[in-house]
Structure 1
Amino acid sequence: MSAENNTDSNLIDLIREDHIEAFHALYNRYKAALLVFAAQRVDKLIAEDLVHDVFMGMWRNRNQLVIADEISGYLFKAMRNRIIDHMARDTHAKKYLDSLEEYSYSFSLTDAKIREDNFMERLEDLLKRYGPQYQKIVHMRMQGYSNKEIAEALGLSEKTIRNQTWMLMKYLRSKICQALLFLFF
């Protein structure tokens, strides 16, 4: 009698005795039904992997295999458990990846903040060579004030502000390129 013509119960007994043909017969008998069951709950490729996992687990534990009821009930319960385990791992993996993304984002924000602070310190050091009026002009320009608004606030002509800004920018450009290379590379 071939393994395919055996009852489920006989196949299980043969599997316990290491008969690979009996295992293949049982696999072929239930593979499609388990795949349909799993594919309704997870992606088809994952479903195929889970079906193989169920049967591989059964083969690995064949000598201790205890099936109280029907093999179909055993297999579908094992499949359900594999699906639940997969979903739990998948959820944990997604949470972990999300937390890594969050950490990476916060780290890059922190890194950018540190670089910005270092850049501003370097800028302040460079501005110390000039008087407080020049420093005030740069700070107001960085806050978005126009030459006209700065001139009115400091009681200077717009042309003076333009000239001092041009002079400062020329100096800072020559020095900031070096600072940027130092800070960002």
Structure 2
Amino acid sequence: MILSLIYSCIASVYVHMGGGRHPYYIGLDQTAAAVRMISIGNIPGIISVAIPKLAVAVLLVRLLNPARYQKAILYTLTLSCVVMQTLCAVFLWVQCTPTAGLWNLVKYKPKCWDLNAVINYFIFAGSYSIFVDLYLAIYPMTVLWGLQINRPKKIGLSCVLGLGIL
């Protein structure tokens, strides 16, 4: 929550600085300052998406007491997702040399990685994050469906654990 709040504050400052507007209207210097601001803000924003998955995995392990292999799957999926998202934050900053070239192409004339490779990795990491979210949502439903309780309780518990509905 704290990382999301930090990202939201930085994104608000970015918009206030003119972020999202065409450089023609706010000038190249103001555009560079805004892009630098959102580049900084993306770090807590990206990581704030991954870390809660670990908390959900720990909660599911404690509540559902899964088999050893299922624990390994839960922890492997969530930890690999955190690593991939952290790499996204790192790649965001190291893709150009010097880093300042990310927000001021004219002044620094940076040497950057292939943009398609960076974008493809970000798409892959985001897709993997969605897969982990789906797994963490569906797993409790499969466990609960095997219990000997009436159907309305199974549906209710599945919604609470799998979909986060309270």
Instruction: State the TM-score bracket (shorter-chain normalisation).
Output: under 0.3
Greater Rg over alpha carbons, structure: 1
Q: TM-score, normalised by structure 1?
A: 0.25
Q: TM-score, normalised by structure 2?
A: 0.28
Structure number with the bigger relative contact order (C-alpha 8 A, sep ≥ 6) is 2
